[in-house]
Amino acid sequence: MTVTESPAVRVEGLAKRYRGTVALDGLTMTVGRGEVFGFLGPNGAGKTTAVKLLLGLARATSGRGEVLGAPLGDRRIRRRIGYLPELFRYQPWLRANEVVALHCELARLPRTEWRREIDDSLGLVGLADRAGDTVGTFSKGMQQRLGLGLALIGRPELVILDEPTSALDPVGRTDVRSIIRTVRDRGAAVFLNSHLLTEVERVCDRIAIVDHGRVRAEGRLDDVLGEPAVRVRVTGIDAALLRALGAFGPVRQDGDWVLIEPLDPERVPEVVAAIVAAGGRIHDVDSGRASLESRFLALLSREPAGAGEAARDDASPASPAP
């Protein structure tokens, strides 16, 4: 396989231990070229450690991997990678355009391209009118926007974003999703490290859910979310009704809510008719896949807050991409 054909990221059995603490425990995953890959996990799951290993900021205890065809830690390959750290801080005494120029120089970009890079990157993240202001006067959200702009200079082939919306308001978050799509449209892969499930759900092509340093699930969003289901709020449930519904698939009851999973969405009208025929009174019907949140909690074997809420999440449809 040549360098250009290699995936954006490929790691096998990557492990990292810090004096007895296991941060990563045999991480194996592949991120294809040009895809937006969501790397999900709770706090302390090893997400940032994984990013640092990919960038060569830390060394793996064991395992191997490559980024853009080069082994982990290869310095020269960083020219083709953009990175927004989780802890984003830039020289507060420099102006925004000077910070971009500094990173152009560190990224070894030709000086003739700096002006365009400064204008493009600051324009893309909405800081064009603040280009001449010192970073020290920026809010946290603006500094994160600046960091995002820096991650995009030089048209990188892989953009690694570590919690890119942690300091942003809803408008900023929407902007970030739009920027991520722009980056993907340019052909770059995006490695999105996040614990914000809705963000990932809306923008990622594929995801991996990681916990305790291991991948618990990986694949296309639809694959990870599992089979479609229907959830109906019914009063007047009795054994005959549950038996009738059993003909459609596995049934779970939680109070007034009845969940049938899996269920072909085309059969929802039949389910409704069967409930009415059996004397049940229908108050609400939800059909679709499990939400990423419920899937996430199920994979991590953590009870969601409140059983009723869990039942609701179990059958709520996946949030549609805007």
Partner 1 sequence: MITIAILTLHEAVRRRIVAVLVLLTLVSVVLTGFGAERLVALAAEHGANPIEVRIGVSQILILVAFMFSFVLAMTAAFLGAPAIAGDIESGVAQSMLARPIRRADLVVGRWLGLSIVVGLYAAGSGLLEVAVVAALTGHVPPQPFVAVAFLAGESIVLLTLALLLSTRLPSMAAGAICVVMFGLAWMAGIFAGIGRVFGADVLVAVARESRWLFPTDGLWRGVVYGLEPPLVIFGSGRFGVAAEANPFYAAAPPPLEFVIWSVVWVALALGLAVLSLDRREV
Residues with Cβ within 8 Å of 156's Cβ and at least 6 positions away in sequence, in order, are 80, 81, 82, 188
Of positions 8, 31, 150, 275, contacts partner 1 by CB under 8 A: 150
186 binds partner 1 (CB under 8 A): no
Give least dist CB 84 to partner 1, A. Answer: 8
Stretch that binds partner 1, among 97-105, 196-204, 254-262, 287-295 (CB under 8 A): 97-105
Give dist(CA 195, CA 209) in Å, integer: 10
Give least dist CB 70 to partner 1, A. Answer: 11
Interface size with partner 1, residues (CB under 8 A): 28
Nearer Cβ to partner 1, position 108 or 243? 108
Of positions 15, 37, 63, 90, contacts partner 1 by CB under 8 A: 90
296 binds partner 1 (CB under 8 A): no
Give dist(CA 152, CA 186) in Å, integer: 11
Binding marks (x or -) toward partner 1, 129..148, rule CB under 8 A? ------------------x-
1 binds partner 1 (CB under 8 A): no
Q: Which residue has the tokens 């049934």?
A: 251
Stretch that binds partner 1, among 34-42, 51-59, 183-191, 280-288 (CB under 8 A): 51-59
Nearer Cβ to partner 1, position 21 or 235? 21
218: number of Cβ within 10 Å: 17
Give least dist CB 52 to partner 1, A. Answer: 7
197 binds partner 1 (CB under 8 A): no
Give least dist CB 51 to partner 1, A. Answer: 9
On whether the CB atoms of residues 69 and 4 are closer than 8 A, the answer is yes
Stretch that binds partner 1, among 35-43, 62-70, 100-108, 174-182 (CB under 8 A): 100-108
Residue 174 tokens, joined: 């929407």
172 binds partner 1 (CB under 8 A): no
Of positions 3, 57, 277, 321, contacts partner 1 by CB under 8 A: 57
Burial label for 128, CB within 10 Å (0-12, 13-18, 19+), is: middle
Of positions 44, 59, 64, 270, contacts partner 1 by CB under 8 A: 59
Closest to 290 (Cα-Cα) out of 196, 220, 238, 222: 222
Of positions 15, 31, 55, 100, contacts partner 1 by CB under 8 A: 55
Stretch that binds partner 1, among 56-64, 191-199, 220-228, 262-270 (CB under 8 A): 56-64
Nearer Cβ to partner 1, position 89 or 281? 89
Residues that bind partner 1 (CB under 8 A): 52, 55, 57-59, 75-79, 81, 83, 85, 87-91, 93-94, 102-103, 105-108, 147, 150
